[in-house]
Amino acid sequence: MKRPAAPRDKYFLRSLHQEIDLYDRKLADLQKFAVFESDADRQEAESKLITKRATLEKTARELSASGVEFNEAELPRSFREQADQVVPEHERAS
């Protein structure tokens, strides 16, 4: 018997955004504080986190592109930074 698909609504998107933010924090912690025996070990750990995060990001972007509503304040910090870079500064003031 097939399991029903998870609902892909605004609450699911919010949890995806929270998970992406968690992975952003894990990556920052890994880059600043984690100790590894070699650079290869560090790169392997970083690569795993980036791969998991990329999958979540792809799903979140697909959902938002398909029209699932979300609150701008609940976006992961990395998404907000990208949005700030896209909007020219003189337009943000208005």
> Are 14 and 37 in contact, with CB atoms under 8 Å apart?
no
The answer to whether residue 39 sits within a structural domain is: yes
The answer to whether residue 2 sits within a structural domain is: no
Of 27, 17, 24, which is closest to residue 75 (Cα–Cα)?
17
The answer to whether residue 1 sits within a structural domain is: no
pTM (two decimals): 0.78
pLDDT tens digits for 55-71? Answer: 999 999 999 999 999 99
Average pLDDT over residues 39-62: 96
Q: What is the pLDDT of residue 94?
A: 45
The answer to whether residue 80 sits within a structural domain is: yes
The answer to whether residue 76 sits within a structural domain is: yes
The answer to whether residue 25 sits within a structural domain is: yes
Total number of domains constituting the chain: 1
The answer to whether residue 59 sits within a structural domain is: yes
Domain with 56 in it: 10-92
- CA gyration radius for the chain? 16
The answer to whether residue 3 sits within a structural domain is: no
